[in-house]
Chains A and B, each alone.
Chain A
Amino acid sequence: MTETIAGFEAATGLFRVLDDAGGVFPGRDPGLDDATLTQIYRALRQLRLLDEKMLIVQRQGRIGFYGEVKGQEATPIAAGFALRHDDWVFPGLREGAVMLVRGFPLATYVAQCWGNGRDVQKGRQMPSHYSGRAVNQVAWSSCIGPQIPQAVGAAWAMKLQGHDRVAVGFFGDGATSQPDFHNAANFAGVYKLPALLVCQNNHWAISVPSSAQTASASFAAKAVAYGIPGVRVDGNDALAVYTVMREAAARARAGGGATLIECVTYRIGAHSSSDDPSRYRKQEEVDAWVAKDPVERFRRFMYARGLCDEARDAALTEALSQEINAAIQEAEASPALRRESLFEDVYAGLPWHLDEQRSDLVGRAPAKGHGEH
Chain B
Amino acid sequence: MRKLRYREALREAIAEEMERDPNVFLMGEEVGYYQGAYKVTEGLLERFGAERVVDAPIAESGFAGLGIGAAMVGLRPIIEFMTWNFSAVAFDQILNNAAKVRQMSGGQFTCPIVFRGPNGVARQTGAQHSQSFDAIYAYIPGVKVVAPATPADAKGLLKSAIRDENPVIFLEDERLYGVTGEVPDGEHLVPIGVSNLVRQGATATVVTWGKMLPAVLAAAETLGREGVECAVIDLRSLRPLDLAPVYASVAETGRALVVQEGWPYGGVGAEVVDRLQRECFAQLRAPVLRVTGRDASMPYNKHLEDLSIPSAETVVRGVRAVLAY
A residues whose Cβ falls under 8 Å from a Cβ of B: 88, 90, 119-122, 124-125, 129, 131-133, 138-139, 141-143, 146, 148-161, 167, 179-180, 182-184, 186-187, 190, 344-348, 351-353, 369-373
Contact = CB atoms under 8 A, between A and B. Distances in A.
Given A141-B97, A156-B69, A348-B166, A149 B62 contact: yes
Contact of A370 (B92, B101, B243): B243
A157 B69 contact: yes
B108 A187 contact: no
Given A133-B109, A184-B65, A351-B193, A370 B244 contact: yes
A344 B105 CA distance: 11
Nearest to B244: A371
B252 interface: no
B272 to A, nearest CB: 11
Interface in B77-92: 77, 92
Given A152-B66, A157-B75, A187-B57, A146 B96 contact: yes
A120 B142 contact: no
Nearest to A123: B106
Interface string B244-286: 1101000000000000000000000000000100010000000
Contacts of A180: 61-62, 65
Contacts of A352: 240
B141 A346 contact: yes
A139 B65 contact: no
Nearest to A159: B51
B193 A131 contact: no
Contact of A154 (B25, B72, B101, B106): B72
Interface in B206-244: 240-244
B69 A132 contact: no
B61 A152 contact: no
A141 B62 CA distance: 15
Given A182-B59, A186-B59, 5 more contacts: A124-B104, A149-B93, A153-B71, A187-B63, A346-B141
Among A120, A146, A180, A182, max chain B CB count under 10 A is at A146
Contacts of A182: 59, 62
A252 to B, nearest CB: 15
B68 interface: yes
A146 B92 contact: yes
A230 B165 CA distance: 37
